[in-house]
Structure 1
Amino acid sequence: MYIIKHGEEMTNILLLAFVLRFFLMIADLEHWFPILNSGADTEMFDMIARRNLSLAEPTHKSGYPGFLTFIYSISGSSRLFAQYINILFGIGILLILIKVFRLLDIPLKRQKQVLYLVAFMPNIVIFSSILLREAWVEFFVAASALQFIIWYQTGKQSNMATCILFVLAASYMHAGTIGLLGGYITGFLAYDPRKKTVQFTPKTISSIVLLGIFFLLFSENSAMFLGKFQSFDPDSPEAFLRYANKAGVGNSGYLTWLPPISNPIVGLLVAPLRMFYFLFAPLPTEWHRVSDIIGFAIDGSIYMWMCWFIMKSHATEENFYLKRFLIATFLSAAFIFSYGTSNAGTAFRHRTKLMPTIAMAYAISHIRTNEKED
């Protein structure tokens, strides 16, 4: 009933998305057929949560294992219940997108187009059906973007604070999403919702520069880049550089031909290339097998098409700055993820976390003045 009440014209899309996710959840639990990305991390999370329950002092009390342990403790170790929560988060993302579409007065035809895309992209469907943390992260990322958009329209400080809290909630599950704050804080510092203008005063510019310096220093000297990616905790900038120079995993590794990164400056110079591969891999230069071509066709090419359209299209006047802040948001997060990711399989998982912000920027890019009445 909640879906029908809030989905309205989108009800069929939402119901089909729910049924598809529910079917995959049952198929995964009953082992009807192999499901991509299920079987490694999913079983590790399940094992840790069950082991935590048997210990007087749990060994993994934070992040997704901590939440999964709590869910198991109140549900009798029901994996079905835990995966069903993922489905609810997955549908929640779609409901947030609908809310955003209506706040921005996006034409119904465009709303349906973007919702179909996000609702049925194979990896997004899978990640909200199996025992992974991706759906949790995506939900909080979507919720943070919703709060940012409301702040952009109203200027309410409460929405600014809630936006930041949702980013912190997402980063609790996966530290790479802390990069979203790069775009959001730039918006908070530069945009005046009352005047509907960006004001780059000396104070604003100096604040953004200081933020950028702090962001890079913090990234280089903490586990923010890599702590949640490969269980790697760099204890020095040199350790980070050694990690960044490692080849990708197996046949799905990419950019293995890059020369070693000799210092952080060189690392920044190659960052755009790493971000490009992170967002769109497996690219033709890294195709080793048929599965790489299929992966690009059903995932990488979709991100490439969306980002290309975002960059080439012009937003309407009222959404001009909003679109740019959203672009800055997912690119600043992509910067962090690109240095914690060296293979296409991992890139598939991590970039889905950015899809809500990409989808919102993509929807804004489709608005045309003459479509307002459609």
Structure 2
Amino acid sequence: MKKNIKHILLIAFIIRFVLLFINNFIFVLPQGDGDAIIIEFYAFKFSNITNLDYGLVFSQGHFFLAYLGSLLYSVIGREPFIFGLLMVVLGTIVVDKVYTASFLLWNNKDVAIKVTWFTALFPQLCLHSALILRETPVNLFLILAIISFIKYWKYSQNKELIWFVFYIVIAALFHSGVLFAFLGILILSLTSSKQNKFRNRFLLPLVIIISVIFINYWGLGLQKFGGSIENITDQFQARESMQTMGNSAYPSWMLISGGLSEFWKLPIRYIAFLFSPLVPFMVKNPKHIIGLFDGVLYLLLFYNIYKNRRLIKSNSAARGILIMSLFLILVFSLGVSNVGTAIRHRAKIVPMLLILYLPKRSYLNGNKTYLG
């Protein structure tokens, strides 16, 4: 079985390395311009600054990744290909950690192998692993957090709760929205009938609340929220009041600019975030046809989750991962207003959705160890 995993990881690395080579020496890949170029530029800029504003660095995901890149550049000089190679390695590690998470969750190597193959070949995961973007670091620390959550919740390894919090905080340094995973685990802890209620209904919420207070006090990764959790509503309203721009922008009627009276649009934004440009009125350009394939993949993922909803419900750890995923999807869906950004942002949580994927229900027949 270890040989199979090494084979998958090798293929995953080769795919990502080839995409990196193409992006650096042949032509710029989709999403390889814009943010990817800006982050690399700031990495070079930060490497030559002696009085860096660390408050800014640790409050904004773009700058945090650029800062990490600047540490590399300060040693080897400005080498975008090496910076990209680091992202390739991180992307390959994500594939490996998805195997670990799936196996811990379902106790079934056949399921874990299948899911690892899907992760290795998932188009957006391959693409982002070859670009200097925040998506791959978010993928990595989110999946590490999920592994710790499974160990804590299913296998009662209490120390893993601290690691779960740590990984979520690190992921939030790359993107503020990841903090909403805390809300998902709180909902699980307060509604679960799992034994050891003191641990799950007192200790877990206490640790989460203390962590959020700490994050809010220092403003870690909270630039998107105006530097503080208290400013979330104001920041959201300010963003929604802006006119959507670009060829792939959502129609203006989808913006929630009228306050609570327009919250009926939430399901529409949710669906648009997950499946666009499958939504017909969002296909405005022949290039969007490429995005249709990505939307179909998410549609198949959610169909599989729905089909196996009873198995997921019977495994409380899997249910917790689903709840956290749904909260992350909600906050990300409210933070984007065009198809291109939606395709990028939803890739942040796709490893979480993939470990919920069950290729065949028969794989678990007679195997009660998947229950948690």
TM-score, normalised by the number of residues in structure 1: 0.82
Q: CA deviation at 1:43?
A: 1.5
Q: CA deviation at 1:317?
A: 8.0
Which residue of 2 is the match for residue 132 of structure 1?
A: 133
1:289 maps onto 2:285 in alignment: yes
Q: CA deviation at 1:121?
A: 1.9
Match of 2:36 among 20, 42, 54: 42
Q: CA deviation at 1:108?
A: 4.1
Contact 1:137 1:353 in 2 (8 A): yes
Q: CA deviation at 1:342?
A: 0.6
Q: CA deviation at 1:319?
A: 4.6
| Residue deviations 1:58-93 (CA, integer Å, cap 9, x gap) | 356332121111121123233232212211111111
Contact 2:244 2:337 in 1 (8 A): yes
| Residue deviations 1:32-68 (CA, integer Å, cap 9, x gap) | 1230111221211121121122223235633212111
Which residue of 1 is the match for residue 250 of structure 2?
A: 254
Q: CA deviation at 1:308?
A: 2.0
**How far apart, in 1, do the equivalents of 2:347 and 2:236 lie?**
24
Structure-2 change in CA distance of 1:346 and 1:236 (3 Å): closer
Which residue of 2 is the match for residue 3 of structure 1?
A: none
Task: Tell me the SS of whatever aligns to 2:19.
Answer: helix
Which residue of 2 is the match for residue 342 of structure 1?
A: 337
| Residue deviations 1:4-53 (CA, integer Å, cap 9, x gap) | xx8432332221111111111122222x1230111221211121121122
1:24 maps onto 2:36 in alignment: no
**How far apart, in 2, do the equivalents of 1:316 and 1:234 lie?**
38
Higher deviation after alignment, 59-68 or 274-283? 59-68
Structure-2 change in CA distance of 1:254 and 1:106 (3 Å): farther
Which residue of 1 is the match for residue 182 of structure 2?
A: 181
Which residue of 1 is the match for residue 45 of structure 2?
A: 51
Contact 2:305 2:356 in 1 (8 A): yes
Which residue of 2 is the match for residue 314 of structure 1?
A: 309
1:168 maps onto 2:169 in alignment: yes
**How far apart, in 2, do the equivalents of 1:27 and 1:89 lie?**
18
Contact 2:276 2:292 in 1 (8 A): yes
**How far apart, in 2, do the equivalents of 1:274 and 1:180 lie?**
19
Contact 1:21 1:126 in 2 (8 A): yes
Structure-2 change in CA distance of 1:358 and 1:367 (3 Å): farther
Q: CA deviation at 1:111?
A: 2.8
Higher deviation after alignment, 246-255 or 124-133? 246-255
Query: What are structure 2's unaligned runs of at least 5 residues?
Result: 59-63
Higher deviation after alignment, 89-98 or 138-147? 89-98
> Equivalent pairs: percent with the same residue?
20
The aligned length equals 349
Structure-2 change in CA distance of 1:105 and 1:240 (3 Å): closer
**How far apart, in 1, do the equivalents of 2:35 and 2:310 lie?**
40
Structure-2 change in CA distance of 1:110 and 1:163 (3 Å): same
Which residue of 1 is the match for residue 350 of structure 2?
A: 355
Match of 1:332 among 308, 311, 327: 327
- Letter in structure 2 aligned against 1:49: A
Contact 1:279 1:351 in 2 (8 A): yes
Structure-2 change in CA distance of 1:24 and 1:149 (3 Å): same
Contact 1:254 1:344 in 2 (8 A): yes
Contact 2:312 2:318 in 1 (8 A): no
Which residue of 1 is the match for residue 81 of structure 2?
A: 80
Which residue of 1 is the match for residue 61 of structure 2?
A: none
- Letter in structure 2 aligned against 1:277: A
**How far apart, in 2, do the equivalents of 1:112 and 1:154 lie?**
21
Contact 2:111 2:359 in 1 (8 A): no
Contact 1:315 1:364 in 2 (8 A): no
Task: Tell me the SS of whatever aligns to 1:163.
Answer: helix
**How far apart, in 1, do the equivalents of 2:106 and 2:331 lie?**
32
Query: What are structure 1's unaligned runs of at least 5 residues?
Result: 1-5
| Residue deviations 1:114-164 (CA, integer Å, cap 9, x gap) | 222221122110101111121111000110111111112222221111111
**How far apart, in 1, do the equivalents of 2:119 and 2:299 lie?**
14
Q: CA deviation at 1:278?
A: 0.9
Task: Tell me the SS of whatever aligns to 2:154.
Answer: helix
Structure-2 change in CA distance of 1:256 and 1:160 (3 Å): same
Contact 1:315 1:367 in 2 (8 A): no
- Letter in structure 2 aligned against 1:251: N
| Residue deviations 1:218-244 (CA, integer Å, cap 9, x gap) | 9xxx9959459xx9x996845532422
TM-score, normalised by the number of residues in structure 2: 0.82
Structure-2 change in CA distance of 1:155 and 1:47 (3 Å): same
Match of 2:27 among 11, 16, 33: 33
Contact 2:20 2:84 in 1 (8 A): yes
